């Protein structure tokens, strides 16, 4: 057991080193996010003109939600893992994992965790630059339970996002190009994941349906817990639903991997 842990710990450390090599990519992406954040502040500032609250939340609470969302994209977001996995399958690089005692899923999620640690630390730079300007517009709830429920929500969200990306990567066993699938998924995730607007602003029946889908648990759910947009009971039930989606996608990932290997022709690598 210890030998297995050391093996993937080494993979994690290699991922940290790789992330540091490309740190300027993360920094530039983070600084560019300030442009997106500026647009959000201008847009929602205009929406709130003449209104004290929208959906029961004031402008400071709404701005806090979007700033938190920006940080979470670097801390738990899956950037291009699906394309990396697809490339390894198409180029035959995956063959090396079929001949060694390495679990490919654990190998990839170890690298994912390492990359998120690097990007999560680097995102503090643009946030530190923006804080003197936006600090007065931010407010966080004081309930301690939000931290204790927010941490497992973040962990499950990271696993969910990676596993969904892993499943899309597995489609390369059947399709030469997965870009169309990924773009369609990204469009749905952006709308139903709370990245355009907080999902709780949807009509109640639509919001109830959205809470049953996996997209809400990729970004909106952990951000909603941390910024006070949902209550304790909703957070508890949401954690249960999120855990169920994680288990389902883990099972799907295992199925696609097993079936994909039956179609795989080991050339190259």
Determine the pLDDT at residue 23: 64
Nearby residues of 13 by Cβ (< 8 Å), 6 or more positions away: 114
Q: Which residues contact 35 (CB under 8 A, 6 or more apart)?
A: none
* Pairwise CA distance, residues 66 & 196, whole Å: 9
Q: At what angle do helices 104-122 and 2-21 cross, to 10 degrees?
A: 40
SS3 57: strand
∠ CA 109-112-116, rounded to 5°: 140
Least Cα distance to 154 among 233, 219, 227, 83 occurs for 219
pLDDT of res. 93: 83
* Cβ atoms < 10 Å from Cβ of 54: 16
Statement: the pTM of the whole predicted model exceeds 0.85: yes
pLDDT value for 269: 45
What is the spatial distance between Cα 179 and Cα 59, in angstroms, rounded to a whole number? 37
Alpha-carbon gap, residue 51 to 205, rounded angstroms:
24
Question: Tens-digit pLDDT profile for the chain (269 aa)?
Answer: 676 778 788 888 888 877 776 666 766 776 777 787 888 888 888 888 888 888 889 999 999 999 999 889 889 988 888 888 998 888 888 888 887 788 899 999 999 999 888 888 888 888 888 888 888 888 988 899 999 999 999 999 999 999 999 999 999 989 888 888 888 888 888 888 998 889 999 999 999 999 999 999 999 999 999 999 999 999 999 999 999 999 999 999 999 999 998 877 655 44
pLDDT value of residue 30:
67
Which is nearest to 34 in space by CA: 136, 127, 119? 127
Domain boundaries, the chain: 7-263
The C-alpha atoms of residue 91 and residue 84 are separated, in whole angstroms, by: 11
């Amino acid at each position: 057991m210890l030998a297995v842990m050391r093996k993937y710990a080494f993979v994690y450390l290699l991922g940290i080193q790789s992330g540091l090599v490309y740190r300027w990519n993360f920094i530039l992406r983070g600084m560019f996010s300030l442009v997106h954040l500026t647009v959000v502040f201008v847009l929602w500032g205009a929406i709130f003109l003449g209104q004290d609250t929208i959906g029961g939340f004031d402008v400071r609470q709404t701005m806090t939600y979007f700033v938190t969302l920006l940080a979470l994209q670097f801390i738990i977001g899956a950037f291009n893992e699906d394309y990396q996995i697809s490339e390894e399958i198409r180029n035959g690089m995956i063959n090396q994992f079929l001949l060694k005692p390495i679990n490919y899923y654990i190998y990839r999620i170890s690298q994912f965790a390492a990359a998120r640690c690097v990007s999560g630390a680097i995102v503090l730079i643009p946030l530190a630059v923006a804080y003197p300007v936006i600090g007065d517009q931010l407010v966080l709830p004081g309930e301690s339970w939000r931290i204790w429920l927010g941490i497992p929500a973040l962990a499950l969200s990271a696993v969910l996002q990676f596993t969904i990306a892993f499943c899309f990567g597995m489609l390369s066993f059947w399709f030469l190009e997965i870009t169309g699938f990924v773009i369609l998924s990204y469009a749905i995730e952006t709308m139903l994941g709370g990245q355009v607007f907080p999902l709780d602003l949807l009509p109640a029946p639509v919001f109830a349906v959205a809470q049953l889908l996996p997209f809400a648990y990729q970004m909106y759910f952990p951000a909603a817990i941390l910024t006070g947009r949902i209550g304790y009971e909703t957070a508890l039930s949401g954690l249960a639903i999120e855990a169920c989606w994680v288990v389902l996608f883990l099972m799907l990932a295992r199925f696609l991997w097993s079936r994909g290997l039956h179609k795989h022709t080991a050339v190259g690598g």
